[in-house]
Structure 1
Amino acid sequence: MLKTKTSTSGVIINTCGWVKGPGYKVLTHAAQAFEVDVILVLDNERLYNELKRDMPKFVKVVYLPKSGGVVERTVSQRAEGRDARIREYFYGKRTPYYPHSFDVKFTDLKIYKVGAPSLPDSCMPLGMRAEDALTKLVQVWPSPALAHRLLAVSFAAGPEDDVLHSNVAGFVCVTAVDMDRQTLTILSPQPRPLPNTVLLLSELQYMDNH
Structure 2
Amino acid sequence: MKVFSTLVCLLAGSVATSALPANNTAEVEFAVSKITWTGLVKRGEPPVSITGTAEEIYEEITRINPNYDNELGLNSPDSTVKRRDLEPIQRRATTSNDWTCAYGNDVNAESIGTGVRYLYSIANGDCAAPPGKPGAGGCSISSCNAGAGIFLCNDVDHDLHNPCTIVADNAVEVLINCQWTTYNGGNSWTTNTHGQIFSTDHSWNVILNRC
Category of TM-score, reference length = shorter chain: under 0.3
Higher relative contact order (CA 8 A, sep 6+): 2
More strand by share: 2
Instruction: State the TM-score, normalized to the length of structure 2.
Output: 0.24
Larger radius of gyration: 1
TM-score in terms of structure 1 length: 0.24
